[in-house]
A and B are shown apart, each in its own frame.
Chain A
């Protein structure tokens, strides 16, 4: 009988984490940011049919980066969990926090028990009735959850993108951030100094606070172009 080689648990976890991170880094990143009227999500995505950002429930959206088939499976599970809860209790009882916890459980379980971890990072965002109620949960491949306040960056190279984003946003970040400014800062951060992203390369969706029921809104290429073009007309940035 052959005896399997002993591998330290630390090494097993590290190998899995490296594997997941490499997979995630191969895809494109995304940025989510709170603005005055809700939450804006901006992803680099050249496909017009395979989405990274989508609707989960009345005030909740989902975004994923990494392997498409894996985060799409998670997205559908989220839609099911939300619709089930709304059906069995009430629409008001569906919230992002419990959904984020369920995602964290399943990702954590797959990370430790399955052959291969999921190569994804996901975001669950909820727009509140007031800015205080806005929530963004960033969940990693291993089930760790981060509760983000003003913005979140998902995907490979997120540290660099995050720095670029805070530089571009400056002190406008927070409750009063205007939609056009927020989207332009996110696009600049995703593009970096050497590239320019056009509407065709982007997927932008919003959670609009003032909607009565379904707050999720996907922007068309024309609408995105309009927001990106505003820059020239807007007043010059302070500083």
Chain B
């Protein structure tokens, strides 16, 4: 690998994907029929909610390939950088690669320019990456992320969802995507209030994933036996923070108790 030292006229600027293209090592987009392999792993339900201090994002841990569970402990909600997070649903391989490149691009930009991208700029970057995945999406490897973060300039949490073509839509209140999104989204829609506090927001996303797991076979529920709980993360002015499993265990215990109670 040669030293990436460019003349001023063909400098790739602060874009890492552009740098990869210049050097001919851009990742190849997978195309063609992959169904001959019996299906590739797909990640399922992720949700995000705005609340008073920022955003809460959550995702179940299951990845499925056809009717089989391929992973039980997948991490679909990840820190993009200090003040933003991305949650992914869709084909696990391309999605994980997209997230890795996205994280790297945010850090690369920050180091080259000496300042972070605006939150809107980050959402725009992700939108271009989703669009770049369109050929793979045509072969069934769709990736549809949710992007959320704390906007330091506007002092508020913000959320975006995307479509396969890279369409970028800012959502005011909440968003859900993936196979269980119909059920999860409905739970959030019913429980959402404009001034949710942290505790209520976390309870709401936990309940949403519970109901999605209850009705959608591709969404995993809390697995107390193995100690695997959904990933729930909050992004506030203080930055990205995962909600610890011990906290989630208690919340799911309470949900289970409520469900048990109503069935007696």
Contact = CB atoms under 8 A, between A and B. Distances in A.
Interface of A: 49, 51, 54-56, 73-74, 76-77, 79-81, 83-88, 102-103, 105-106
Contact of B1 (A55, A88, A103): A88
Contact of A85 (B1, B101, B111, B114): B1
B74 interface: no
Contacts of A77: 3-6
Contacts of A88: 1, 25
Contacts of A83: 16, 19, 104, 107-108, 111
Interface string B95-136: 000001100100110011010000000000000000000000
Contacts of B111: 54-56, 79, 83
B157 to A, nearest CB: 23
Interface in B1-21: 1, 3-6, 16, 19-20
Interface string B64-107: 00000000000000000000000000000000000011001001
Contacts of A80: 4, 19, 108, 112
Interface of B: 1, 3-6, 16, 19-20, 23, 25, 100-101, 104, 107-108, 111-112, 114
Contacts of B101: 87
A102 B3 contact: yes
A71 to B, nearest CB: 13
Contacts, number: 49
A73 B3 CA distance: 12
Please report whether the interface of chain B is mostly helix, strand, loop or mixed according to DSSP: helix
Nearest to A74: B5
A84 B107 contact: no
A80 B13 CA distance: 10
Given A73-B5, A84-B25, A103-B3, 11 more contacts: A54-B111, A74-B5, A79-B108, A79-B112, A83-B19, A84-B20, A86-B104, A87-B16, A87-B20, A87-B100, A87-B101
Contacts of B1: 81, 84-85, 88
Contact of B104 (A55, A87, A102): A87
Contacts of B114: 49, 51, 54
Contacts of A49: 114
B112 A84 contact: no
Nearest to B27: A87
A106 B3 contact: yes
Nearest to B113: A76
Contacts of A73: 5
A81 B3 contact: yes
B25 to A, nearest CB: 7
A91 to B, nearest CB: 10
B112 A105 contact: no
Nearest to A50: B114
A109 to B, nearest CB: 10
Contacts of A105: 3
Contacts of B3: 77, 81, 102-103, 105-106
